[in-house]
Amino acid sequence: MAIEGFDYKAFAENMAGQAKQLVPQDLRPDQQEYIVSTLNNFTLLAGEALYNDESLKITAEQAVFITQVIAEWSFHKSIDLIRSGLPKIYWDSIMQKIAFTIFEIAKQAIGKDITQEQLLPVIEHHVVKVYNKCIDDLQSRGAITKKAKETAESQSNIDAMAKQAAEEINKEKEAPYIEADNRRKEALKKREEARKQRKVEQELEKASELVNKKQLKMISLAMILRMLPDEKANLILSKVNPDDVKVIMSYMNVVNLESQIDGDILLECLKEIKNALPVKRTLTEENIMGDMLRLYKTNPREKVEKTIKNERPLVKRFISQAYNGEYSGLPVKVAGIVAQYVEDSI
């Protein structure tokens, strides 16, 4: 069933008409035409998609909001691309990714009690993120220089318009439009707050990209422990540093933890954990003597003898003979315990 009261064709035409009046006059006619046609195309496509998608169950007001946001960002980012100096062959693909991102985020927000005021800074954050990623990708594959990348990323027509609006407010202080001034000031204040929030989110994203190997291993361990019975999981955690236990348990409570970390990285960490696990071996006289000889190579004899000075003669004799590569005749299990005790005590 079509969205009652939503004429997407007329709406797209109206937005394109407004864009013609607002395009920067310092741009060439063909550049101005690109801005208007890009805005019109994406607004029309988005409106048609919403109009024909019966599964969304949205109102005409919601449909207008989504298409208007796409129109506005199409306007601003197409200007940024033109002023960036990037070759024109890259403009359309970047604009398509931006429009698609806005469309998907806005659709997902429908029915989740997210107000338009709350959604706008989220959309702006993702638009800037997608735009910068596209520019980064061009530079990383050698399509543009680092300087061109920096120039492109520094463009922000929306900020320029906000600055211009602020300057106009200062000029109109004496004008009898106090209510209009207050509305503009409030809008600028909200935009600045949203920008600060976006900066915090970007810093958090950068921090998440710097997760070190230890954290990844703790995440991997958390995934394993979630699949074990509580008794076994607690037994393993009892052998872990208490500070690390807190971190691991916090990861265990993260919803969809597996989907938030790259699968290849997780597999690599799980392999490292597996390789680090002790391999159970058969307890023999040769193994015990090998352990003792390795212990003597890294620790002075005086230190070992000081450790066992209060032990029974049988233990002392075993340690003393082991120095000469001789096995004293202790039962293998007892000798294994003594060797482990000495190693843990040093």
pLDDT value, residue 73:
93
Query: Would you put residue 300 in left (φ > 0), alpha (ψ -120 to 50) or beta?
Result: beta
**pLDDT digit string, tens, across residues 191-246:** 777 777 776 555 545 444 444 567 777 777 777 777 778 887 888 888 778 878 88
Q: What tokens does 161 get?
A: 């318009």
Q: Are 157 and 80 in contact (CB under 8 A)?
A: yes
Span 54-77, mean pLDDT?
A: 89
| Predicted local distance difference test score (pLDDT) of residue 13 | 92
d(CA 13, CA 32): 16
**Mean pLDDT over each residue of the chain, to the nearest integer:** 79
Over residues 296-342, the pLDDT tens digits come to: 788 887 887 787 777 777 777 887 787 777 887 777 777 777 777 77
Between 52-56, 109-113, 195-199, 224-228, the lowest mean confidence (pLDDT) is in: 195-199
| Residues 167-180, mean pLDDT to the nearest whole number | 57
Ranking 15-24, 173-182, 278-287, 331-340 by mean pLDDT, the lowest is: 173-182
| Banded pLDDT at 257 (limits 50, 70, 90) | low
Distance CA(275)–CA(279), nearest Å, equals 9
More confident residue, 89 or 230: 89
C-alpha–C-alpha distance, residues 246 and 252, integer Å: 10
Higher pLDDT residue, 21 or 249? 21
The whole model's pTM is what? 0.49
- Please give the DSSP secondary-structure letter assigned to residue 24: -
Indicate the helix (H) or strand (E) that contains 292.
Answer: helix 285-298
Confidence of residue 171 (pLDDT cuts 50, 70, 90): low
Residue 249 corresponds to which tokens in the numbers above?
A: 């348990």
Q: Decide if 12 contacts 57 (C-beta within 8 A).
A: no
Angle at CA of residue 211, ends 209 and 213, nearest 5°: 135
Residue 196 exposure: Cα atoms within 13 Å on the Cβ side: 5
Asked whether the beta carbons of 84 and 155 are under 8 A apart, the reply is yes
User: Residue 272 contacts by C-beta under 8 Å, 6 or more apart in sequence?
Assistant: 217
